[in-house]
Amino acid sequence: MYINVAYVDEENPNLEDLSVPLRINNCGYYRVHTTPVIETPHPEGRNDYQLLYISSGKGHFYFKGNKDATIVTKGNMILFRPKEPQVYYYYAVDKTEVYWVHFTGSQVENILDHYGLPKNENVFFTGTSPDYQWIYKQMILELQLHRKNYEELSGMLLRHVLLMINRYLDEGKTAGNEVMNEIERATHYFNENYNKPIKIEQYAEEHLMSTNWFIQSFKNITKVTPMQYILSLRITAAKGLLEKTDKNITEIADSVGYDNPLYFSRLFKKYTGHSPSEYKKLVAKR
């Protein structure tokens, strides 16, 4: 088992604080691969709110005192409000990985309403984006380091999670959860691999999708085609290299995925209105 937990105040981790709009009490991460079972028995609930995210495996939750477990799988969020019973188990056999954050404040209900979180549901599917994991890790880090303004930043990170949930719930109603998952997976892949040769037909085939369906679904959600999205990533990266390095055009073209610097230069000018060398001169004058 691996655990990483951070507190604002270790002596009072279950605080109800209505003197501020929003305050993070603590957050953390469990990876349950070896310990047979991890139990959380709070049948009387807590004084604060809790938002959990199952990133892998599943959890066994007993909501509202029910004797039968609700199996919550990866990609789901679980929201507990103050005084709601919290009884749940994670088993090593499930290879569960879960993130959580406890929070309080006078404006929490208004904030949850603003981002469209369900009022009468504890569980809601929000997709399997690795962005959730990254943001939770940032919250943990802020609470561990206690750097300047860490309480404000940790609250902003929680709002970031809530905003992502809102976007997913809203877009998922139109596109469908499975479609959203596929497009999120694709955008993360493109962000990590834009500097490599990418064939959309091959990507779609490897992920068991028809090319036309993938391109249309991607465009419906992002408003651009997959290749336009990849081109945007490459041009943005090229701009950064032109602004911050002394690499020549050939080196920059290669760095962002083009083995032909002339072709890269034509694309760059078409996209930005300036050749790479012209762009570099413009930036230098700023």
Q: State pTM to two decimals.
A: 0.69
Residue 35: predicted pLDDT: 86
CATH number assigned to the domain comprising residue 132: 2.60.120.280
Percent of the chain with pLDDT over 70: 98
**Better pLDDT: 183 or 158:** 158
Q: What is the DSSP string of 43-103?
A: TT--SSEEEEEEEESEEEE-GGG-SSPEEEETTEEEEE-TT--EEEEEEGGGTEEEEEEEE
Mean pLDDT on 138-164: 95
Per-residue pLDDT band at 1 (split at 50, 70, 90): confident
In the chain, the number of structural domains is 2
d(Cα 239, Cα 237) in Å, to the nearest integer? Answer: 5
Distance of CA 141 to the CA centre of its chain: 16
pLDDT digits over 10-48, tens only? 777 788 999 999 999 999 999 998 889 999 999 999 999
Looking at the fold, whether 100 and 186 belong to one and the same domain comes out as no
For residue 205, the enclosing domain spans 176-286
CATH number assigned to the domain comprising residue 225: 1.10.10.60
Query: Comparing 1-5, 79-83, 112-116, 195-199, which segment has the lowest mean pLDDT?
Result: 1-5
Residue 172: predicted pLDDT: 63
Distance of CA 110 to the CA centre of its chain: 22
Looking at the fold, whether 232 and 121 belong to one and the same domain comes out as no
Looking at the fold, whether 224 and 190 belong to one and the same domain comes out as yes
CA distances from 90 to 34, 57, 257 (A): 11, 9, 43
Looking at the fold, whether 71 and 169 belong to one and the same domain comes out as yes
